[in-house]
Amino acid sequence: MGSILIRGAKLADPEKICCERLDLLCRNGVIEKIEKNIQDPADKTVDAQSLALLPGLVDMHVHLRDPGLTYKEDVFTGCRAAAAGGVTSLLAMPNTKPPMDSPALVEELLQRAESACCRVYPAVCITKGMKGEELAPFMELQKAGAVALTDDGRPVENSLLMARAMKEAASLGLRVVSHCEDLYLSQGGLMNEGAVSRELNVPGVPAASENAATAREIALAESYGVPIHICHVSTAVSAAMIRDAKKRGVQVTGETAPHYLLLTEEALRKKNADWRMSPPLRTDEDRRALLEALRDGTLDAIATDHAPHSEEDKADFYRAPNGSIGMETALSACYTALVKPGYLTLPELIAKMSLNPARLLKLPGGTLRAGGPADFALFDENRRWTVDRDRLHGRSKNTPFHGMSLSGKVVMTVCRGEIVYQDG
């Protein structure tokens, strides 16, 4: 593995003094020192005087499509895209083919991931086959290496079954991650239901679909005194419900995704399926409410919901599956949406994208400390760049940010003490 010395970087770690310039020395996959003017020899020295030094991002919502859908993405191409975005750890969603509901599948994924360039942690199904009928064997899945439970891609519609899942997961110390959607309300919808969908004559997904499901999860968490994590929050009302529940002491946490912070339903006027995702892009009022919810701590995390699809899959706006890729652009998009306008400082943003996800999932990393894993990224805050889908590093190209100018760029990523991405 060798050693790397980072010189003079601006430390942007939510657990450290903001913006202090320090050196970092890592050796054999472990951070050895973080202090001023390190004089120890190293195999590689990086002058980082103009750069910010961040803990590696922890993306707690990634669809790797592995196994069974690897024409869209796999462990290796997904981790390659992750590294290009400063992500060193990711939570792999279980809506694979077959769904990740058995210890054998978890073990196979972890075996493949051993040679990937970032750390892969499996989320597994709440219900067998994601059918919503019978709980998966949580204890056996945890022993195999699972760190979270979700049927993401669809909700668990049976409230009694979901309550049982939340209680059993709590007894094991596992996090339940809920995809909040009332399928009866959202059925057939392709974009946010509202003025734009009516103008375009495109079937809509009402905000009530997400809001009703979010209300149920909060009610279950409150009634039984157990945790719940709400993923990809997209509406102002859902954010407000999470805020109010937290004030009452409910063990609810929430995340949103970068595309909900920069884009709105107006993008769908182009009828390009790369802007179709679930939940859909909402109104500008919703977007601004999410920015405020991140500022005031209502939303704990930002995760990409990285959802690769092939060109063929996305060719027809009306028939295409939902989802967009996001790991490679996430930090830049969030820096543009949150740090540049002053909603968050860079260390506060990193808390949402690294420290908090690591804590929620009980993973190592999320901060930089001597003796900790050598997972970090160098970020150029002054760099502006235009997203070009053809220059991204994953297998699929369905980014919602193609052609957009973003602020800030990851220029180097180190995972396990190895340089896994270097710009240029």
Q: What are the residue numbers of the active site?
A: 305
Token pair 């020192």 in the structure block, residue:
33
CA distance 364 to 116: 17
Residue 393 annotated as binding site: no
Residue 61 annotated as binding site: yes
Three-state secondary structure call for residue 113: helix
CA distance 260 to 325: 13
Token pair 């092939």 in the structure block, residue:
310
Residue 423 annotated as binding site: no
Burial 98-126 (b: 16+ CB within 10 A, else e): ebbbbbebbebbbebbeebbbbbbbbbbb
CA distance 216 to 364: 31
Residue 232 annotated as binding site: yes
Residue 65 annotated as binding site: yes
Q: 236-247 vs 284-295: helix axis angle to the nearest 10?
A: 30
Residue 305 annotated as binding site: yes
Distances (CA, A) of 320 to 97, 305, 309: 18, 17, 9
Alpha helices in 299-366, H assignment, sequence order: 330-334, 346-350, 356-361
**Binding site as annotated, residues for substrate:** 63-65, 95, 309
**Binding site as annotated, residues for Zn(2+):** 61, 63, 152, 179, 232, 305
